[in-house]
């Protein structure tokens, strides 16, 4: 869809400026070009041919986090993030794609095995310090101007991916009915492997079977970049995977993936056959936060005896769960706070569920963080492409985190976990960060 096709939506902006207070980028820079009103004025300028497509537009278009906070603060609910995404697609048609994005979107993300091999190579380089050499030689610069600066964001990479150890296929669960498909997002697969293990174990407790899907990337990275062609390619591959398996529900522990999988009908708006298929699958897609909450509060009775608990310890206790136990087993309740990923709170309307899960955990005191639903500045690969700006957004989040005095920060998006973990290290905080699945897996270890 071209920018011109969105003219009516863009023209809905009455220039009131109420979006300014909610925009993390405007709050960090104070620049009008970085807030919804300024970005919409630019798009209007393009349509009215007062502005021409050229590389100067890269910053106003690509510095938007896509967090959607402006829309929640706008009386007309102007969907700026979506409008900016559409404009990115047209920008790429006019100005061109970068080689690093082509490599990522066309040659890595559609093929999980290639992604695993690339992640292993990066892990080898990173864990041995070779990436510092590459950085010093300027080799990382080919991936974007800010990547060398951002190199420290990921502390260490696991040598084996989640699906390198738990292969795609069907696994028996302890539940009675539900056939669960586990959609493994790229971030969990190659970086937050412990979160993946915790999710897998929790799902096995609930489902009659858990199928670790052989899915590829959900498509959000190319979609956010404006690359509709490669998004469609990924979404089509995943739809085939969903159709081939006999499933009742498809759960993912990445809120960004969940939010985007729920958008598939929109991705296929020009392809009625795939759109119908995506519509059929839509009710099956669940963010692990909503799924675990619904399980605890609804259909599946799930109490654990001490025998079950010790057998859980023997067979399943994961490093992530043990790490949670370490923090939570002190003399006083552990103070736990929550960060809402943009794709959970605004992308799917999931807000209270994660908090309710945390409040139900033993030896935990929940404390709300100010601006918990503000973007952390991670926004997929944003921290790699706009490092300085993302750090300003992150610093604000860290100030709010510090004020809670929390022992544990919990969230449900691997990209947020990476960015928040980096912020915690950078600011020298003692807070530990865990995925919500690691917290619920911890609950599995406590007799009830």
| Residue ranges that bind ligand SF4, judged by CB under 6 A | 13-19, 22-25, 35-37, 39-40, 64-70, 74, 76, 78, 80-81
| Structure token pair of residue 57 | 């537009």
Shortest distance, CB of residue 39 to ligand SF4, whole angstroms?
A: 6
Q: DSSP string covering 171-231, please?
A: EE-SSSS-EEEEE--HHHHHT-HHHHHHHHHHHHHH-SEEEE------SHHHHHHT-HHHH
Q: What is the 3-state secondary structure (H, E, C) of 48-88?
A: CCCCCCCHHHHHHHHCCCCCCHHHHCCCCCCCHHHHHHHHH
Shortest distance, CB of residue 78 to ligand SF4, whole angstroms?
A: 4
Rounded Cα distance between 159 and 394, Å, is 28
Which CB sits closer to ligand SF4, 40 or 210? Answer: 40
Contact indicator for 158, 152 with CB cutoff of 8 Å: no
Which CB sits closer to ligand SF4, 197 or 397? Answer: 397
Which CB sits closer to ligand SF4, 34 or 320? Answer: 34
Which CB sits closer to ligand SF4, 35 or 147? Answer: 35
Longest dimension (CA), the chain: 72
Which CB sits closer to ligand SF4, 40 or 43? Answer: 40
Shortest distance, CB of residue 435 to ligand SF4, whole angstroms?
A: 24
CA distances to 152, 162, 313 from 413, in Å: 19, 16, 26
Shortest distance, CB of residue 419 to ligand SF4, whole angstroms?
A: 15
Which CB sits closer to ligand SF4, 70 or 153? Answer: 70
Which CB sits closer to ligand SF4, 39 or 397? Answer: 39
Alpha helices (H) in 329-386, listed in sequence order: 342-345, 352-359, 382-385
H or E element, residue 242: helix 228-244
Shortest distance, CB of residue 375 to ligand SF4, whole angstroms?
A: 6
| Structure token pair of residue 60 | 């106003």
Rounded Cα distance between 261 and 252, Å, is 10
Shortest distance, CB of residue 186 to ligand SF4, whole angstroms?
A: 23
Shortest distance, CB of residue 207 to ligand SF4, whole angstroms?
A: 36
């Amino acid at each position: 869809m071209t920018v011109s096709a969105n003219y009516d939506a863009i023209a809905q902006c009455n220039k009131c400026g109420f979006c300014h207070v909610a925009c993390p980028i405007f709050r960090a820079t104070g620049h009008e070009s970085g807030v919804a009103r300024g970005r919409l004025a630019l798009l209007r300028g393009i349509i009215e041919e007062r502005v021409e497509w050229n590389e100067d537009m890269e910053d106003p278009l690509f510095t938007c986090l896509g967090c959607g906070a402006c829309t929640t603060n706008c009386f007309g609910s102007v969907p700026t993030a979506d409008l900016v995404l559409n404009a990115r697609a047209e920008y790429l048609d006019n100005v061109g794609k970068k080689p690093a994005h082509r490599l990522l979107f066309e040659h890595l993300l559609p093929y999980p095995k290639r992604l695993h091999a690339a992640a292993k190579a990066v892990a080898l380089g990173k864990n041995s310090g070779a990436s510092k050499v590459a950085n010093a030689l300027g080799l990382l610069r080919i991936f974007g101007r800010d990547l060398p600066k951002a190199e420290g964001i990921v502390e260490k990479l696991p040598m084996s991916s989640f699906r390198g150890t738990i292969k795609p296929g069907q696994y028996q669960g302890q539940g009675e009915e539900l056939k669960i498909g586990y959609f493994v997002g790229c971030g969990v697969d190659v970086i937050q492997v412990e979160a993946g293990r915790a999710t897998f174990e929790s799902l096995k407790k609930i489902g009659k079977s858990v199928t670790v899907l052989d899915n590829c990337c959900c498509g959000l990275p190319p979609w956010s970049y404006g690359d509709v062609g490669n998004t469609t390619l990924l979404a089509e591959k995943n739809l085939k995977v969903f159709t081939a398996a006999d499933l009742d529900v498809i759960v993912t522990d990445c809120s960004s993936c969940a939010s985007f999988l729920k958008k598939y009908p929109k991705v296929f708006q020009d392809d009625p056959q795939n759109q119908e298929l995506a519509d059929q699958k839509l009710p099956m897609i669940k963010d692990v936060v909503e799924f675990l909450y619904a399980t605890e509060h609804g259909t599946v009775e799930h109490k654990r005896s001490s025998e079950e608990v010790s057998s859980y310890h023997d067979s399943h206790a994961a490093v992530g769960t043990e790490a949670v136990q370490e923090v939570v087993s002190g003399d006083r309740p552990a103070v736990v706070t929550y960060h809402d990923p943009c794709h959970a709170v605004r992308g799917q309307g999931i807000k209270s569920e994660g908090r309710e899960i945390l409040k139900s955990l033993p030896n935990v005191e929940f404390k709300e963080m100010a601006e918990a639903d503000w973007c952390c500045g991670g926004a997929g690969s944003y921290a790699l492409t706009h490092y300085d700006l993302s750090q300003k957004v992150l610093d604000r989040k860290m100030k709010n985190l510090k004020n809670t005095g929390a022992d544990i920060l919990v969230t449900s998006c691997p990209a947020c976990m990476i960015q928040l973990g980096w912020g915690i290290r950078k600011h020298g905080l003692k807070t530990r960060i865990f995925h919500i699945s690691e917290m619920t897996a911890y609950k599995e270890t406590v007799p009830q």
